[in-house]
Amino acid sequence: MEYDINDLSIPFEERHAACRWLRDNDPVHWDEKNGFWILTRHEDVRALAKDADRFSNAIHGPWHMMSTTRGSIECMDGRAHLRTRNLVSRAFTPRIVSYLSEHAHRYIDEAIDRVLPLGACDFVEALAVPVPMRLIAEMIGIADGDIDQFRRWSDAIFEATSSDPQRSQAVAEASAALASYLGEAIGKRRAEPRDDILSSLIAARDAGALGEDAGLAHDELIQFLMLLIMAGNETTRNAISGGMLALLQHPEQLERLRQDLALMPTAVEEILRWTSVVRALCRTVTRDTELCGKQLLEGQRVLMIYTSANRDERVFDAPHEFRVDRTPNEHLTFGFGAHYCLGANLAKMEIAVVMREVVSRLPGLRLAPRAEIRRDDGALAETITSLPVVF
């Protein structure tokens, strides 16, 4: 079975059909064209994700969240990863998520107020973008007047896996500009601390005076903030957009959710499974090893395909059906093991808040007549850039 995960011209249905064939016939598949192994079964992806001893998270090629940037927590293993994770986890405490929830409600209500009199909008731009973008900007100290520039940088960096040389240059320029901006923001917060996440992370960095492993180095803090921008802004936006498209394409599920908002927690989990925004991530083989009868050599790369694992018939009943009441739902959208997404609860909160307000306040919500749904060709994520709706 020939399937090139980097060929984004392949229609969704064909991609899913190819992954199903691989799950059934060759679950640990050597991709000769791209030079890496592909894992498509839920069980294998989950097992590899927690096996840092044989499969390193360090960067060796594309398909990392931070594939162009070294030193991010996403690219660490073992003690270094645990140390950094423990320090930055203070950005995602239940108290902080609860605090941000209040802001999320205000941001989506303001966004809905702007479009309500119009009866139509581009869902992505008008309703999916504001909450995650404004929350992340608030978390890391982006001034209100700089939000538009912040978004341009964020959009450019999210294209980091593109093979287009011009895009790669744009990514490098955006990364450098954003890193410089964040360095200035850190300096301002150090001079005038606030009761916010950036100040808390700076305190974690400055605690380094207490011992070699106590605090975050300046570059580590910059890299974490850049990862937060990508994982907390872009991926959540895409999950919201993809989730709304799924609801609009399954109107009976949308109406069921509208009539019973108590289903929102399971609906959010199904949106995360269905959209699988991050298509795949990579690990590197640390020593010659065997996996499902295949011989993997030290230095080879292994791609974990989340879009396939999350539709594995061995785990999910009728996985190609979208069900807002699906339970259990053991999707791997946030990863598994030591690298399970730190911001999972924050992302779930944002999706739930946006969806609850949208389905409650926009009666008759549906795709616009002759709507052109546009997608981006970024390799890392399933991205919807335009979703015209009427209500």
What does DSSP say about strands 301-305 and 36-39: parallel, antiparallel, or unpaired?
parallel
316 vs 179, 229, 246, 328, CA distance in Å? 41, 31, 17, 8
pLDDT tens per residue, range 45-85: 999 999 989 999 876 555 544 444 445 677 778 887 887 78
The CA distance from 263 to 267, in Å, is: 6
- Over residues 310-338, the mean pLDDT reads 97
Give yes or no for a contact between 241 and 249, defined as CB atoms under 8 angstroms apart: no
Give yes or no for a contact between 29 and 302, defined as CB atoms under 8 angstroms apart: no
The yes-or-no verdict on residue 250 having pLDDT over 70 is yes
pTM of the model: 0.90
pLDDT tens per residue, range 107-157: 999 999 999 999 999 999 999 999 999 998 888 777 777 888 888 887 777
Per-residue pLDDT band at 165 (split at 50, 70, 90):
low
pLDDT tens per residue, range 18-50: 999 999 999 999 999 999 999 999 999 999 999
The yes-or-no verdict on residue 275 having pLDDT over 70 is yes
CB neighbour class for 196 (10 Å; exposed up to 12, middle 13-18, buried from 19): middle
